[in-house]
């Protein structure tokens, strides 16, 4: 093991963030769905982005939650130490790995936080088994043990948890540069590349792998969860064996990669790994697999009008969401934009953040499960909270919001992409100039649901840049003013481009929009010309919000007054999550609409 540690340490990059930045700077031509070319942009270190306003508060409360009870070091380490009695210790590395990942990517080397992080880092490696895995002892060559009664309760949960822990270890090494952590990560990576590869990645044994029935303990859910961590380990070490193993798993994964599937969190996180493999190899088959799955999920009703997915990746027959799944859906949308430049993925990310995410977060900042009203077409309402998932969602919810911060303002060869009109401040580097982008929400106006002040400042006080303002699907027009003068931005592929902006420029950006209707499959509905028309199963949109019934979880009749080709929102009947925050009531987002004049 000393030789392995030396090899990994010598080849390790200064940090995982540096490796990610180096990868993102590689120009990649994407021909997906008609996009001629797209240079993958550089992402900002999310620790250098201050997210404020409603979403900033959601992120801060989520991050604070992991510093509160029950998250003391003995509790966190119980899934590898087995010294504390808590639930899901058989998913060895799940809680401990998630804690390490979130705490590390939001910490600085000189300031580890929360308080339990240092103790977890000190102790975690002592629980690693001789073969590199964490958790209960397993005879990996004993067929009776591997495929007997413990398949769902012991063997598969170990693989799931170890996949999460590999992500935690690589993130921790990236932040703190502890060679002991890197050695442990490499030993775990070797376990996947040797022992687990022989036992669980053999095409001749496909029938054996199919036998698991439990949705959370199924082979497709648990084994392939290791792909993402293997790619991250490759990015840290540049050891080709880890990338090759992830590619081998990804190609075998295609056999089991279907819709519906029993565990949406596992499925979506595995698609994140496929996108990471595309970034490392440039092989478009991995990108195309994710893009095709995204289309199938959206068009097939697996995604609700509120931008969320259920805990099981199904359309109907189940009535609960999961914060981890919403986080992964958000991450997949963001990663697809980064690799294709198609703004439809950001439109979905925005819908998810402003609706499903706010509905899923608990008052104490944690995330978990909410019950849904579901019929044969899928979800139509948020019902009561089900349970706060202290073992997974409480970590994964803020983890995805942390990544969301990286996408708010993004530098690219043609300027700065301003992707989301929310409250934030971010440093963005273009060429040799470091810019600060500051975005502040202003009170909305009639038919202007979103209004922002955007300011650009450079560190040298000079230089020019272009700002590309994303045009959301819900905006009819974007008006940009500087010193009261309306500018004439140039439209380009889902954005409006404003060129030659100097340091100190302050812009007023108004997103003009009117309420409109959608079907439950995201298709915009043309309003009728006569008031006698009735439209069943409709969704009401205004700005980034999916409008909700203010106090009922049933699909109810809603009368809308037609006026000049649009309709005013009946404020006594409709509201949005920014107003209903932390509401435990039932709220429908599907209506039977009757038009009147």
pLDDT tens-digit profile of 553-563? 999 999 999 98
The CATH code belonging to domain 415-512 is 2.60.40
CA 161 to CA 129: how far, in whole Å? 14
Q: Using 50, 70 and 90 to split pLDDT, how confident is the model at 149?
A: confident
pLDDT value of position 210: 76
Q: Using 50, 70 and 90 to split pLDDT, how confident is the model at 34?
A: very low
Q: Which helix (H) or strand (E) holds 345?
A: helix 344-351
| Nearest by Cα to 91 from 140, 134, 126 | 134
pLDDT value of position 211: 63
CA 484 to CA 168: how far, in whole Å? 49
CA 588 to CA 582: how far, in whole Å? 15
CA 187 to CA 167: how far, in whole Å? 13
Q: Using 50, 70 and 90 to split pLDDT, how confident is the model at 14?
A: very low
Q: Which helix (H) or strand (E) holds 270?
A: helix 264-281
In angstroms, how far is CA 79 from the centroid of its own chain? Answer: 25
In angstroms, how far is CA 250 from the centroid of its own chain? Answer: 20
The pair of three-digit structure tokens given for residue 128, joined into one six-digit string: 């690693």
* 69-91 tens-digit pLDDT: 999 999 999 999 999 999 999 99
CA 223 to CA 151: how far, in whole Å? 12
Secondary structure (H, E, C), 130-175: CCCCECCCCCCCCHHHHCCCCHHHHHHHHHHHHHHHHHHHHHHHHH
pLDDT value of position 166: 98
CA 341 to CA 444: how far, in whole Å? 29
Q: Which of 49-53, 422-426, 508-512, 577-581 has the lowest mean pLDDT?
A: 577-581
Higher pLDDT, 597 or 3: 597
Residue 590 is given by DSSP the state -
pLDDT value of position 214: 58
Do 415-512 and 2-407 fall under one CATH topology?
A: no
Using a cut of 0.75, tell me whether the model's pTM lies above it: yes
Domain boundaries, the chain: 2-407, 415-512, 516-596
Q: Is the dihedral of CA 18, 22, 25, 29 positive or negative?
A: negative
Q: Using 50, 70 and 90 to split pLDDT, how confident is the model at 24?
A: very low
Top CATH class, 2-407 = mainly alpha
Q: Using 50, 70 and 90 to split pLDDT, how confident is the model at 147?
A: confident
């Amino acid at each position: 093991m000393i030789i392995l540690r030396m090899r990994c340490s010598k080849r390790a990059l200064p940090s995982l963030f540096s490796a990610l930045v180096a990868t993102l700077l590689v120009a990649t031509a994407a021909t997906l769905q008609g996009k001629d070319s797209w240079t993958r942009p550089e992402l900002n270190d999310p620790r250098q982005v201050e997210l404020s306003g409603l979403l900033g508060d959601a992120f801060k409360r989520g991050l604070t939650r992991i510093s509160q009870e029950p998250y003391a070091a003995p509790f966190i380490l119980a899934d590898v130490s087995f010294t504390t009695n808590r639930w899901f210790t058989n998913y060895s590395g799940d809680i401990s790995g998630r804690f390490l990942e979130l705490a590390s990517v939001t910490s600085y080397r000189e300031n580890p936080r929360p308080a339990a992080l240092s103790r977890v880092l000190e102790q975690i490696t002592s629980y690693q088994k001789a073969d590199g895995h964490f958790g209960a002892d397993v005879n990996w060559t004993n067929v009776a043990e591997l495929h007997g009664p413990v398949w769902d309760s012991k063997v598969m949960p170990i693989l799931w948890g170890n996949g999460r822990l590999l992500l935690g270890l690589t993130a921790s090494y990236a932040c703190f540069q502890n060679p002991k952590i890197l050695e442990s990560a490499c030993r775990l990576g070797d376990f996947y590349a040797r022992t687990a590869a022989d036992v669980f990645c053999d095409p001749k044994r496909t029938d054996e792998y199919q036998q698991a029935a439990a949705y959370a303990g199924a082979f497709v859910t648990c084994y392939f969860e290791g792909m993402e961590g293997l790619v991250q380990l490759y990015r840290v070490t540049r050891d080709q064996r880890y990338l090759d193993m992830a590619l081998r798993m990804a190609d075998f994964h295609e056999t089991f990669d279907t819709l519906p599937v029993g565990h949406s969190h596992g499925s979506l996180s595995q698609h994140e790994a496929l996108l990471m493999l595309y970034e490392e190899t440039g092989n478009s088959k991995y990108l195309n697999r994710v893009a095709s799955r995204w289309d199938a999920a959206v068009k097939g009703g697996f995604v609700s009008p509120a931008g969320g997915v259920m805990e099981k990746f199904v359309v109907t027959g189940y009535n609960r969401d999961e914060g981890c799944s919403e986080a992964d859906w958000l991450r997949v949308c963001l990663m697809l934009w980064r690799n294709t430049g198609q703004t439809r993925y950001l439109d979905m990310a925005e819908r998810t953040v402003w609706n499903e995410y706010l509905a899923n977060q608990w008052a104490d900042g944690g995330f978990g499960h909410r019950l849904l009203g579901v019929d044969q077409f899928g979800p139509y309402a948020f019902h009561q909270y089900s349970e706060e998932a202290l073992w997974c969602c409480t970590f994964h919810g803020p983890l995805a919001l942390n990544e969301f911060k990286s996408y708010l303002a993004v530098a690219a060869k043609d300027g700065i992409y301003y992707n989301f009109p929310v409250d934030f401040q971010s440093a963005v580097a273009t060429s040799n100039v470091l810019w600060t982008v500051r975005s502040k929400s202003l009170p909305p106006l009639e038919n202007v649901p979103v209004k922002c002040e955007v300011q650009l400042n450079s560190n040298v006080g000079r230089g020019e840049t272009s700002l590309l303002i994303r045009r959301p699907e819900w905006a009819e027009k974007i008006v940009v003013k500087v010193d009261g003068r309306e500018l004439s931005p140039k439209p380009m592929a889902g954005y409006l481009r404003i060129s030659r902006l100097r340091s100190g420029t302050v812009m007023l950006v108004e997103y003009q929009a009117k309420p409109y209707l959608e079907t439950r499959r995201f298709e915009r509905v043309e309003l009728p010309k006569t008031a006698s028309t009735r439209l069943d199963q409709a969704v009401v949109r205004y700005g980034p919000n999916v409008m909700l019934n203010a106090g009922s979880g049933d699909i109810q009749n809603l009368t809308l007054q037609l006026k000049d080709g649009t309709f005013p929102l009946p404020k006594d009947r409709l509201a949005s999550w920014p107003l209903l925050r932390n509401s435990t009531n039932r709220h429908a987002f599907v209506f039977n609409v009757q038009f009147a004049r």
